[in-house]
Each structure stands twice: as C-alpha cells, then as structure tokens.
C-alpha cells in the first residue's frame, strides 16, 4: 500500500466492532534486504561472501575489517524517526475512530539474534539448514554470536528512544525465526537438550530487557517465510514447546510477565497439519503463555478451523488468538483480503480473537 495511514486504515476496517489491542503497521516487508545492503555503508564491515537474495542460500555475509571494533551505531536499525511517523499517522486514525482510543500500534522488531546471524552468517543459512555447509562456515556463526551483545544494545537503546518519545503507544512484535528454527534442527539431530537452554537464555534475556525499559511486547515465532518458503518443516510442535517452557522459567526468575506468543503451525506454502500428533506436545506447554494459534491457510477455512480445534484440544484451553503462519507484509492486497477473511471466520467459529 502507499502509506502508513492506508495500511492501518485497512486493518481498522476489518476489525471494526471487535475488541482490538493493536493495529499493525509493518515498516517495510523486505526490511532485511535493505538492512543488509546498508551494512556496506558502515566502513567497519567487509563482504565475506556476496549474495543477491535469490533465495535463502543467496544471502551475503559480512565480517569486521581488521583492527575495527563493532559499535551499536554500526548495527542500529535507525528507525526512531520512521516509527514516530507511524505513531503520528496512528494518532490521526484514532481521532476518527473512538473505538481505537485504548488501542496501540504494533511494530515488528527483529530479535538481535536474527540480526546478528543475518549480518555475519547469512551465507550459512539455506533451506533445510544443512549441517555440512553450516559446519564449514562455523566461523561465521561464531562471529555472529560474539557480536550479539552489540546488536542487543543497539536494539534496546532504539526501543528506549521510541518509548521516551511516545510512551506506551507501541506494541513490539518480537520476531525470532532463528530461535525456533534452531530448535527444529536440534530436534532432528536429537540435541534439543543441549541447544534449548542456550537459545532460550538469549530470547528470555532480550524479552526481560525490553520489559525492564517499559516496552509492551508480543512474540512471533516462524519457520522463515522469504518468498513464502520455510527453511525447515517441523514434525511437531515439540521444538516450540521446548523453547517456550525454558524461556518462561527464565522470565519468571527475572520477574517479567510472559507476553502473548504466536506459535506457527502452517509453514511456507504448507497448510497446518491435521494430524493430532503434531499438536500433542502443547499439552506440556507452560499454561501462563497466551498462545496465538498460527493455523490459518487463507484458501482453506475448513482445514484451518480443524487445525484450530486440534491445537486447542492439545493445549487444553482456548487460544488467545488465531493467525496465519506469518504476516501479510509480502502479500498482494487481494491475497491479504482472503487471509483476513479466513482468519476472522476461523476465529469467529472458535470464539477466539484474531
């Protein structure tokens, strides 16, 4: 669409008459491409492996130039002014929609882990996350993890700057495909026991830090959706449950409330499975998580509704919300219309929020 106002108007029109906690406005559906290209402008980086973004295996990787030190300003997303423009447009929308008086605007915020991995180890990521290529490029992954604290500082400070200017007007959708994908791969390699504590510690630490600065958040997990293709196909929701249970325990020790969490069930172009065993691990999920069931396939209302039933039966509770596997940022308006209609129909049938 052509403007922030048009995007938020589109969402507001479709939730009219329903309780609404936040109206989303994604700043750029292809943000990761522009973010990675912009790293070339920081003279601390050099290109380790070029990439043209044809698919997951064609992403570039950067390294630090000899003798240089990475600072937060080198990896900041630089969005404070841009987000301010969105808030201004949202406030204008609120002025014409009294029903939105208590509503916030939702902004997507990548997990620093994902930013670090894409900058330093993008070339180690490809469909299926094959172990061989990843091991051959393990130096890239090590570099990403070594610089992760710098990315975290940059992101938290930018979020703090937005809060200082706009208070609690924003809900931050923390997006972390790398966290979930690493869990799926670990399950395939029978190593969840080793990796889950490390990944959960990073996610919990980031969520706790943004809680401490007064940011309101929601967690969005996914399996990757570049060109509507997933990096991995999960066998069940066990990896998501393992990640979230450990994250919950760590957040509890920090005194941070658990935010709502989107658990994807569909992945890429594949619909949510209709095998009850896929959802069975949800019976072990910490009950304090407010779960958003990512079961909706736009072209299959009946299948989506059946998947929601399996999700809620396994979880032993009504889902907090219903959604697709990923967002609508790379959809045409026509495809988004169909996705929204299907989501609202499934949510209404299940007496759940969308």
Classify 47 as helix, strand or coil.
strand
pLDDT tens, residue by residue, 150-198: 999 999 999 999 999 999 999 999 999 889 988 998 888 888 888 889 9
* Cβ neighbours, 10 Å, residue 349: 15
H helix intervals, 259-332:
276-279, 301-315
* CA 230, 186, 116, 133 torsion-angle sign: negative
What's the first-to-final CA gap in the chain, in angstroms?
21
Strand partners, 296: 324
Kindly report the three-state secondary structure assignment for every residue of 121-176.
HHHHCCCCCCHHHHHHCHHHHHHHHHCHHHHHHHHHHHHHHHHHHHCCCEEEEEEC
203: which 2 tokens?
A: 């996610």
SS3 content of the chain, % helix, strand, coil (to 5): 55, 15, 35
Residue range 104-122: mean pLDDT, rounded: 92
* 270-312 pLDDT tens trace: 899 999 999 999 999 999 999 999 999 988 899 999 999 999 9
Question: How far is 164 from 261, CA to CA, in rounded Å?
Answer: 25
Query: How many beta carbons lie within 10 A of that of residue 249, not counting itself?
Result: 12
Write the CB contacts of 52 (distance below 8 Å, at least 6 apart in sequence): 58
Within a 13 Å sphere around the CA of 239, how many CA atoms are in the beta-carbon half? 28
| Whole-number percent of the chain with pLDDT over 70 | 90
Computed on alpha carbons and rounded to an integer, the radius of gyration of the chain in Å comes to 20
Asked if pLDDT for residue 127 goes beyond 50, the answer is no
pLDDT tens, position by position, 128-147? 454 445 444 567 778 888 99
Contact assessment for residue 22 and residue 103, using Cβ atoms and an 8 Å cutoff? yes
Query: What pLDDT band is residue 37 in, cutting at 50, 70 and 90?
Result: confident
pLDDT of 54 above 60: yes
The DSSP code for 353 is B
CA-based nearest residue to 284, from 239, 235, 218: 239
Tell me the average pLDDT across 331-342.
89
Residue with tokens 């020790």: 253
Instruction: Take residue 252 and report the two structure tokens written for it.
Output: 């509890």
């Amino acid at each position: 669409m052509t403007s922030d106002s048009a995007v938020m108007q589109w969402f507001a029109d479709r939730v009219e008459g329903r309780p609404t906690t936040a109206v989303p406005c994604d700043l750029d559906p292809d943000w990761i491409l522009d973010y990675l290209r912009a790293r070339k402008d920081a003279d601390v980086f050099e290109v380790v492996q070029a990439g043209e973004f044809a698919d997951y295996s064609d992403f570039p990787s950067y390294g630090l130039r000899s003798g240089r030190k990475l600072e937060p300003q080198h990896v900041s997303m630089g969005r404070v002014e841009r987000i301010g423009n969105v808030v201004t447009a949202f406030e204008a929308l609120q002025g014409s929609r009294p029903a939105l008086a208590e509503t916030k605007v939702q902004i997507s915020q990548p997990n620093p882990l994902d930013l670090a991995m894409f900058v330093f180890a993008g070339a180690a990521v490809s469909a299926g996350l094959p172990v061989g290529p990843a091991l051959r490029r393990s130096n890239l992954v090590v570099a990403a993890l070594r610089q992760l604290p710098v990315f975290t500082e940059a992101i938290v400070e930018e979020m703090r700057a937005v809060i200082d200017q706009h208070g609690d007007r924003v809900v931050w959708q923390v997006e972390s495909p790398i966290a979930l994908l690493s869990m799926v791969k670990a399950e395939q390699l029978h190593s969840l026991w080793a990796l889950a504590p490390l990944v959960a510690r990073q996610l919990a630490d980031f969520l706790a830090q943004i809680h401490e600065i007064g940011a309101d958040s929601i967690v969005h997990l996914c399996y990757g959706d570049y060109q509507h293709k997933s990096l991995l196909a999960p066998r069940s929701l066990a990896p998501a449950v393992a990640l979230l249970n450990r994250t919950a325990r760590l957040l509890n020790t920090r005194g941070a409330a658990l935010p709502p969490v989107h658990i994807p069930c569909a992945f890429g172009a594949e619909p949510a499975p209709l095998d009850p065993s896929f959802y069975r691990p949800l019976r072990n999920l910490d009950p304090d998580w407010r779960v958003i069931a990512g079961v909706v396939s736009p072209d299959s209302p009946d299948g989506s509704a059946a998947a929601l039933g399996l999700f809620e039966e396994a979880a032993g509770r009504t889902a907090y919300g219903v959604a697709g596997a990923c967002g609508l940022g790379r959809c045409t308006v026509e495809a988004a219309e169909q996705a929204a209609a299907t989501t609202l129909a499934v949510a209404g049938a299940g007496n759940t929020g969308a």
